[in-house]
Amino acid sequence: MNAIDPGAIDIFSPYRLGPLQMKNRMVMAPLTRSRAEPGNLPSNMAAEYYSQRAGAGLIITEATQAGAGGQGYIATPGIHSQQQVAAWRKVTGAVHQRGGLVFVQLWHVGRISHPDFRNGEAPVAPSAIAPRGVQTYTAQGLKDIPTPRALEKDEIAAIVGEFRAAAANAKSAGFDGVEIHGANGYLLDQFLEDGTNQRSDDYGGSIENRARLLFEVIAQASQVLGSDRVGVRLSPGGTFNDMCESHPHDTFGYVVRQLSTLNLAYLHLIEPSSTPGEHPLPDLSARYFRPLYPGTLIVAGGYNHERANAVLKAGLADLVAFGQPFLANPDLPERLRRGAALNAPNPATYYGGGAEGYIDYPTLAQAAS
């Protein structure tokens, strides 16, 4: 938290993020777009897409595989091969050239995968519990997700190693930092929550054990990059991907308190009331977590100009992430500054396809010409 009266700040106020200077408090939320090229390489279009959005104070990329085994959807990029690192370098170069900052979001999908992505082998997870009613996009379209296999301990250690290598690759690709994807029912969240983690070794049972993998990954990334270039995303109380935790306040309260001791770049919370169809759990919002986390807090989920300013002025968050508004408005900060109308996002072009719905949303200047 930067030490000024929160009442005086708004989304356009600059912010000091550890070693980095943000020009405003608007973050582009991580958005999977499923347009990676063969080899799971970010494309030249990705460089254009992200650099168009360099007016954000900070861009967080789409979720990106730390290791080859962590993929769960078609055409999501990786950062585990040297070709991928070279392709990402074009993205970071283009964003920096336009004065932006960019973190890469690192994930392993865990059970939210399909044998098509794993050389015919079953997905892996803390425990052999299938997500009910969840499908994934493969090269042959939507497919049901089979029951995963529980990870062996040596495999867990290998995954921690993949995150470390991915952090080193992120540095070499020119990223300003990494965000560890601990949200939305993917591997690290699957370990945290008791609905998906029924292990009896030191990665299961107590909350300290269930959080062990997340903290090992953070420690490795921090060793490589410095903790002030490592952010973490969590979705306390979220039910996306068939997640369920019987004591969300205790579990996430513990995790957030521990995170607050690590001098991280930030903690990024998806508030549970923000996902359509979910029951709002008001006390799992930033209001609950802010007192537990004095460091930089980002909130996400359904924010517009007014709500974003309100949460900043109340001192409940330091930064606000915008997902769909940034997807459809490359010049979102400029539009909000001017009180201009926003382009509406088109969900039909969220995932897959080409330039349409990706790099062709007009700026204000383009719309006027």
Contact (Cβ atoms closer than 8 angstroms) between residue 287 and residue 309: no
- CA angle (232 as vertex; 228, 237 as ends), nearest 5: 150
Tokens of 18: 């550890």
CB of 342 to ligand FMN, least distance (A): 12
Q: Contact letters (x/-) for ligand FMN, 171-210, by CB under 6 A? A: ----------x-xx--------------------------
Bridge partners of 142?
A: 137
CB of 201 to ligand FMN, least distance (A): 28
Contact (Cβ atoms closer than 8 angstroms) between residue 251 and residue 210: yes
Taking CB under 6 A as the rule, does residue 31 contact ligand FMN? yes
Taking CB under 6 A as the criterion, which residues in 321-350 touch ligand FMN? 322-325, 350
CB of 74 to ligand FMN, least distance (A): 14
Taking CB under 6 A as the rule, does residue 301 contact ligand FMN? yes
Taking CB under 6 A as the rule, does residue 105 contact ligand FMN? yes
What single-letter amino acid sits at 230? V
Tokens of 291: 């007192």
- CA angle (62 as vertex; 84, 368 as ends), nearest 5: 110
**Total residues in contact with ligand FMN, by rule CB under 6 A:** 22
Does residue 137 carry a catalytic annotation?
no
CB of 165 to ligand FMN, least distance (A): 20
For 28, the 3-state DSSP assignment is: strand
Measured from the CB atom, the residue of 87 and 300 that comes closer to ligand FMN is 300
Measured from the CB atom, the residue of 13 and 32 that comes closer to ligand FMN is 32
Taking CB under 6 A as the rule, does residue 309 contact ligand FMN? no
Binder of ligand FMN out of 254, 303, 358, 361 (CB under 6 A): 303
With CB atoms as reference, the residue minimizing the distance to ligand FMN is 323
Closest listed residue to residue 131, CA positions, set 151, 107, 148: 148
What single-letter amino acid sits at 109? V
* CB-based contacts of 65, cutoff 8 Å, min separation 6: 40, 71, 76, 77, 78, 79, 80, 107, 108
By residue count, the chain amounts to 369
Closest listed residue to residue 272, CA positions, set 331, 328, 162, 193: 193
CB of 272 to ligand FMN, least distance (A): 11
Taking CB under 6 A as the rule, does residue 233 contact ligand FMN? yes
Taking CB under 6 A as the rule, does residue 12 contact ligand FMN? no
Q: Parallel, antiparallel, or unpaired: how do β-strands 15-17 and 20-22 relate?
A: antiparallel
Taking CB under 6 A as the rule, does residue 115 contact ligand FMN? no
Taking CB under 6 A as the criterion, which residues in 46-75 touch ligand FMN? 62-63
Taking CB under 6 A as the criterion, which residues in 236-275 touch ligand FMN? 270, 274
Identify the helix (H) or strand (E) that includes residue 234. Answer: strand 230-234
CB of 120 to ligand FMN, least distance (A): 25
Among 15, 49, 186, 361, the active-site one is 186
Q: How far is CA 110 from CA 31, 155, 216, 360, in A?
A: 18, 12, 16, 33
Positions annotated as catalytic residues are 186
Please give the residue ranges that form the binding site for ligand FMN (CB under 6 A): 29-32, 62-63, 105, 181, 183-184, 233, 270, 274, 300-303, 322-325, 350
